[in-house]
């Protein structure tokens, strides 16, 4: 079943200002672009939103990022993880809070989408940290988190359209078909509107390209981890796939068997958060 042009037009007309980004998280994203951002400014910004700061602290103390002793404050977590990673966790925490709906079928998919995005974020960070791309680790985390942002926008848009009656019923099959046809296009539109840095826009735009050697390590990391999420059935579109014929990203990133095993273990843990 293909999506009708009229339906696509309706979805394209949904306001771009739908709540897919927390204002505090967007402020933090701008701080990330400023290498001189002081840790106290970052901490104070996160602490503006008490619910957000509580979730950031929980994530900082999760299995993927915890140290020998749990951090008791946002500042202690920022000192341990660095300002960039604590900003990333704040963005992730804000996204987690947005993946809810009063419509049961939408809420179920939002929950699955969040688990996928979180697992991909942690997986991308892990790949960067365990390969020669360690300097990209913080960017890789955020790229993995945001690569499917177009799907959240679609869910929010269809949630808004549904009560008004537009000749359609919200059901899982329809939502997944809309994702396939439109989430990249609408994700790019969303990233442009909010002036998200170009390196993340490129990931949103190109993470579903046919197999190519991109010469973009950040994009390669996201593509590889997204592929692995399908193998682990941590995706809305899981598939049974193997590396009998290694993917280009597997080769270009010089992934070892140990790296691959570590990635799988980390993603499985993150997918349970």
Q: What is the DSSP letter of 3?
A: P
Show the domain range for 118.
5-270
Please report the pLDDT score of residue 67 as a whole number.
64
For the ranges 9-13, 79-83, 153-157, 186-190, the lowest mean pLDDT is seen at: 9-13
- Is this structure's pTM higher than 0.85? yes
- DSSP symbols for 127-159: HHHHSTTGGGHHHHHHHHHHTTHHHHHHHHHHH
For residue 143, give the nearest of 206, 213, 232 by alpha carbon: 206
Rg (CA), the chain: 18
Please report the pLDDT score of residue 245 as a whole number.
46
Q: What digits encode the pLDDT tens for the residues 213-248? A: 567 899 999 999 998 898 888 888 765 555 544 567
Please report the pLDDT score of residue 32 as a whole number.
78
The owner of tokens 């002036």 is 195
d(CA 213, CA 234): 25
Higher model confidence: residue 197 or residue 13?
197
Please state the length of the chain. 273
| Res. 251: pLDDT tops 60 | yes
Please report the pLDDT score of residue 213 as a whole number.
59
CATH of residue 116? 1.10.3210.10
User: What is the tally of structural domains in the chain?
Assistant: 1
In sequence order, the 6+-apart residues with CB closer than 8 A to the CB of 65 are: 59, 81, 85, 89
Q: What digits encode the pLDDT tens for the residues 124-134? A: 999 999 999 99
């Amino acid at each position: 079943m293909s999506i009708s042009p009229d339906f696509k037009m309706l979805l394209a007309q949904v306001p771009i200002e739908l709540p897919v980004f927390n204002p505090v998280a967007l402020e933090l994203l701008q701080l990330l672009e400023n290498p001189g951002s002081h840790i106290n400014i970052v901490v104070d910004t996160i602490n503006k939103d008490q619910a957000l700061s509580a979730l950031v602290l929980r994530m900082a103390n999760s299995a993927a990022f915890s140290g020998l002793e749990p951090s008791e404050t946002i500042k202690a977590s920022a000192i341990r993880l660095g300002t960039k990673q604590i900003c990333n966790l704040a963005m992730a925490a804000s996204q987690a809070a947005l993946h809810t709906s009063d419509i049961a079928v939408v809420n179920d998919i939002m929950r699955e989408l969040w688990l996928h995005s979180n697992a991909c974020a942690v997986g991308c960070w892990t790949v960067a940290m365990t390969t020669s791309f360690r300097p990209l680790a913080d960017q890789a985390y955020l790229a993995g988190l945001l690569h499917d942002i177009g799907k959240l926008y679609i869910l929010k848009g269809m949630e808004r359209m549904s009560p008004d009656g537009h000749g359609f019923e919200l059901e899982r099959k329809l939502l997944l078909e809309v994702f396939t046809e439109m989430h990249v296009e609408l994700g790019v539109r969303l990233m442009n509107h909010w002036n998200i840095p170009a390196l993340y826009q490129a990931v949103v735009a190109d993470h579903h390209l046919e197999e190519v050697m991109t010469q973009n390590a950040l994009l390669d990391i996201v593509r590889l981890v997204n592929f692995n999420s399908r193998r682990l059935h941590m995706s809305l579109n899981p598939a049974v796939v193997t590396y009998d014929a290694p993917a280009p990203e597997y080769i270009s990133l010089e992934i070892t068997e140990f790296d691959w095993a570590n990635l799988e273990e980390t993603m499985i843990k993150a997918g349970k958060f």
